[in-house]
A = this chain, B = another copy of it.
Amino acid sequence: MARERGGRADPARTLALLWRTGEGPTRGPKQGLTVDRVVHAAIELADADGLDALSMRAVAERLGVGTMSLYTYVPGKAELLHVMFDTVLGESALPDPTGIGWRAALEQRARSDRELARRHPWVVRLWGPGLLLMGPRLTARAEAGLRTVADLGLSDAEMAHVVDLVDGYVRGVAQVTVDVGRDTLAGGAGYDDWWAESTPYLEQLIRPTRFPTLTRVWEAGVYDQAPDAGFELGLRLVLDGIENLIRSRRSAAAPPAPQE
């Protein structure tokens, strides 16, 4: 009939895992591991060898237990990934706008996220796409983000969208920056290897006649820069856009207020 409770795809069980609610068993042998040890082993493994190398076997081996023992602590791999994600989110700072203002706070938030993505390249593969479960850290992030832009004259929806915009921007840059390539790339060759080896062919295919602007920009060396060279510029533009919005909302609320 209904799916067995306590198993996989059970919101109650998964949320209890994320929030570390739920008491352990009273009967039976002592547990040799903890959820935390499992999660941290998985995180270390993902940091070292990438998400694609993260298998239940590998995690179990690193912990010196049988593969199936992990399923005592975690309902399945999907849930493990969710907990890994929420755990590592805790490393990103949640700056308070009091004193420094909303713009500086959002900027710090963005930079902190970017460093998180550098430390743990695999998070960007879990962050953007797919369902995000509200674990304690993600919830704290959401609260802090909204608080940053509260009391600026924005509507509730606008507050949420503005924070999402900044977060999404950082995620987008991280996705092209971070060497996720290592995971995805066929053959195990590095990003630079592939790029270097394919350049001669590309230069033959991308003729200046058909792609004049692109070749001009290419030859100007723009694509030789680090792929996140535009991070600062983009962040500034995004924040400028937000500032525009805030100013317009403010001036609408308070009639006598010349701009600039």
Contact = CB atoms under 8 A, between A and B. Distances in A.
A12 B210 CA distance: 21
Contact of A233 (B125, B161, B184): B161
A205 B19 contact: yes
Interface string A3-14: 100001101101
B230 A157 contact: yes
A200 to B, nearest CB: 9
Nearest to A12: B201
A229 B161 contact: yes
Interface stretch (A24-32, A33-41, A139-147): A139-147
Interface in A234-255: 234, 236-242, 244-245
A11 B201 contact: yes
Given A3-B187, A169-B169, A233-B158, A175 B128 contact: yes
A139 B214 contact: yes
A57 interface: no
Interface stretch (A63-71, A87-95, A107-115, A190-198): A190-198
Contacts of A3: 187
A145 B171 CA distance: 21
Q: How large is the interface on A (under 10, 10 to 19, 20 to 34, 35 or more residues)?
A: 35 or more
A172 interface: yes
Contacts of A240: 240-241, 244-245
Interface of A is mostly: helix
A259 interface: no
Nearest to A178: B129
Contacts of A213: 143, 146-147, 150
Interface string A133-155: 11000011011001100100000
B165 A230 contact: yes
A183 interface: yes
Nearest to A185: B131
A231 to B, nearest CB: 9
A176 B128 contact: yes
A239 B79 CA distance: 38
A142 to B, nearest CB: 5
Q: Pick the 6 closest A-B CB pairs, nearest first.
A: A9-B187, A161-B230, A237-B241, A168-B172, A11-B198, A130-B184
Of A159, A217, A225, A241, chain B has the most CB atoms within 10 Å of the CB of A241
